[in-house]
Amino acid sequence: MLSYIEGMLLGIAPRIRAPLVVFLASGLAAAVAVASPLDPRSRRAKGLLADRAARLQPQAVVRIEAGWFLMGSDGEDLAFASRLCSQGLPVEVCQPQAFSSELPLRRVYVGAFAIDRTEVSRGAYRRCELDHGCTPAGVSEADPRVGQAAQPVVFVSAADAERYCRWAGGRLPTEAEWERAARGGSRRRFPWGRQYNSRVANHGTFTGEPDPIDGYTYAAPVSGFSDGRSAHGLLNMAGNVWEWTADRFLPDYYQHAPAVDPRGPSQGVLRVIRGGSWRSPPHELRAAARVGLGPADVRPDVGFRCAY
């Protein structure tokens, strides 16, 4: 009987089919004995229901408790960024004032939230597409550089990222939430610690080209680089792909931002992206580094993760 029902349901749209499966499986529970092979608790019925659940299963998430942390940079941090930058770029490009949007270092309180342990993968985003919840990403699944299921989804705008997060039951993280997740409650300059380590993140060169020294020429799997995880256990908070946040970008925002749950400025055209990518030089992988990008821009090295 269940095989016949399955056949009938094949031609029904997914949004209608799943509720019908639940309804029909519930009906079967009342109609047959518990020991019957058609019981909804049987492996076949469980398989039908589990298939839908698997498609809607969000990324594994990490809960971060409410608390204060130090956000941004001080003069010593800017001098560090300048030295790191000048290892491969002209000194005049790497002056400390080039990083002044990170000033000042300040105590910020962030309420409790949860955040994806990894960047959203191409495979996870594809499930959203199949459920008609997401606009197709502008990359072919056949592209071995950035299109594989285990790699982070890229060529998505800020609106595309927001749409996915809503589908998954979440939202984009604020800039403050993102930095707290990356730094923990410490003064880490990178998710893994105070000093740069080229072996624990997927990064690029000073010319903006990929650097295969880290083991990947282009995007790495979202589950990679566990040695570079943050204090909260999040992966690829530095490198692999830049990540969209919910906040607008203004260079001087920190100078007048609220100390409790800042949500970004109310004005500004650009959106904040964080974390650096497989094209980024070392100084862009710092947890405090912030960049503005047009919200409609799509790039091969910009993806996202969701907060809840």
> Measured between alpha carbons, how far is 135 from 185 in angstroms, rounded to an integer?
36
pLDDT digits (tens, 9 = 90+) for 194-237: 999 999 999 999 999 999 999 999 999 999 999 999 999 999 99
Compute and round to an integer the Cα radius of gyration of the chain: 22
Mean pLDDT over residues 185-190, rounded?
92
pLDDT tens, residue by residue, 41-98: 444 444 433 343 344 444 699 999 999 999 999 999 999 999 999 999 999 999 999 9
For residue 232, what are its two tokens?
Answer: 């909260």
Q: What is the pLDDT of residue 59?
A: 61
Q: What is the pLDDT of residues 252-265, one digit of tens each?
A: 999 999 999 999 99
The CA distance from 307 to 305, in Å, is 7
Q: What is the mean pLDDT of the chain?
A: 86
Per-residue tokens: 287: 């947890």
The pTM score is 0.81
Q: Where are the domains of the chain?
A: 2-52, 61-303
Contact 179, 307 (CB under 8 A): no
User: Among 3-17, 73-87, 273-287, whose mean pLDDT is lowest?
Assistant: 3-17
Assess if CATH 3.30.70.920 describes domain 61-303.
no
**pLDDT tens per residue, range 107-116:** 999 999 999 9
